Amino acid sequence: MTHPVSEGIRIRGVTKRYPKQAGNDDGLLVLDDVSLDIAPGEFISVLGASGCGKSTLLRLVAGLDTDYRGEISVHGERVRDTSLERGIVFQDHRLFPWLTAAQNIEAALRNAPLSLQQKRAAVAQHVALVGLQGFERAYPHELSGGMAQRVAIARGLVNRPRVLLLDEPFGALDALTRARLQTELQRIWEHERITMILVTHDVDEAIQLGDRVVTMAPRPGRIKRITEVGLPRPRERGDARFVQLRERILADFAEPAHHAA
Q: Kindly report the backbone phi and psi dihedral angles of residue 77, in degrees, each rounded to the nearest multiple of 5, phi listed first.
A: -110, 130
pLDDT of residue 15: 97
Please give the share of the chain, as a percent, with pLDDT higher than 90.
81
* Mean pLDDT, the chain, whole residue set: 91
Nearest 10 degrees: Cα torsion 103, 107, 112, 114: 20
Buried b (16+ CB within 10 A) or exposed e, 2-25: eeeeebbbbbeebbbbeeeeeeee
Q: At a CB cut-off of 8 Å and minimum separation 6, what does 77 contact? A: none
| Interval 114-127: pLDDT, tens | 999 999 999 999 99
In the chain, count H helices and then E strands: 7, 10
Instruction: Select the more confidently predicted residue: 53 or 19.
Output: 53
Query: With bands split at pLDDT 50, 70 and 90, how would you rate the model's confidence at 258?
Result: low
Q: Kindly report the backbone phi and psi dihedral angles of residue 209, in degrees, each rounded to the nearest multiple of 5, phi listed first.
A: -100, -30
Q: Which domains does the chain have, with CATH numbers?
A: 39-54+78-252 (3.40.50.300)
Rounded-to-integer distance, Cα 166 and Cα 199, Å: 6
Query: With bands split at pLDDT 50, 70 and 90, how would you rate the model's confidence at 27?
Result: confident
Euclidean distance between the first and the last CA atom of the chain, given in angstroms as a whole number: 22
Confidence check: pLDDT of 257 > 60: no
| Interval 139-156: pLDDT, tens | 999 999 999 999 999 999
51: number of Cβ within 10 Å: 14
pLDDT of residue 230: 96
DSSP 221: B
Q: Are 12 and 71 in contact (CB under 8 A)?
A: yes
Strands of the sheet containing 163-167, edge to edge, are: 86-89, 163-167, 195-200, 43-47, 212-217, 222-228
Confidence check: pLDDT of 223 > 60: yes
